[in-house]
Amino acid sequence: MPDEGGEPLGEPNHRPGYRVDGFLINDAGNFYAYVNRCRHMTTPLDFVRDQFFSEDRRYLMCYTHGALYEPATGFCIAGPCKGESLYRLPVQVDRGDILVGCPEGDLSFLAE
Ligand code: FES
């Protein structure tokens, strides 16, 4: 995994009846994962495939209308969904393996 890069998750989350896509980032050595859905509209952030960071690499960016999110929190600091947050996925680092979980509950509202 490249430093400070975004990676689509290798295995999509499969639950009976629907699929939710997410992405994992390495922000200065800290790992965070989010559902790949902008809070403005139901589009993935990476309209340009696998591009999740702004040009200055300080923020996650939705390439559809330019919303900017803080990498560590998923909080939107600028754009049409300012004040809302990405849906976070739990991340655990275990002896070099990075595990991304799925929150409990019905996520069908996030399905593609
Ligand atoms: S869809 Fe992401 S900013 Fe509009």
pLDDT value, residue 1: 39
Contacts of 70 (CB under 8 A, 6+ apart): 59, 60, 77
Any idea which fold 1-104 has?
Rieske Iron-sulfur Protein (2.102.10)
Each residue's pLDDT tens digit, 49-105: 889 999 999 999 999 999 999 999 999 999 999 999 999 999 999 998 999 988 777
pLDDT value, residue 110: 79
> pLDDT band at residue 107, thresholds of 50, 70 and 90?
confident
Positions of E strands within 1-112:
6-8, 13-15, 18-20, 22-27, 30-35, 60-61, 68-69, 76-78, 88-89, 91-94, 97-100
User: Ligand 1: residues whose CB is within 6 Å?
Assistant: 38, 40-41, 43, 62, 64-67, 79-80
Nearest CA to ligand 1 atom 3: 65
- Cα distance between residue 50 and residue 46, in whole Å: 6
> pLDDT band at residue 12, thresholds of 50, 70 and 90?
low
Q: How do 6-8 and 22-27 pair as beta strands?
A: antiparallel
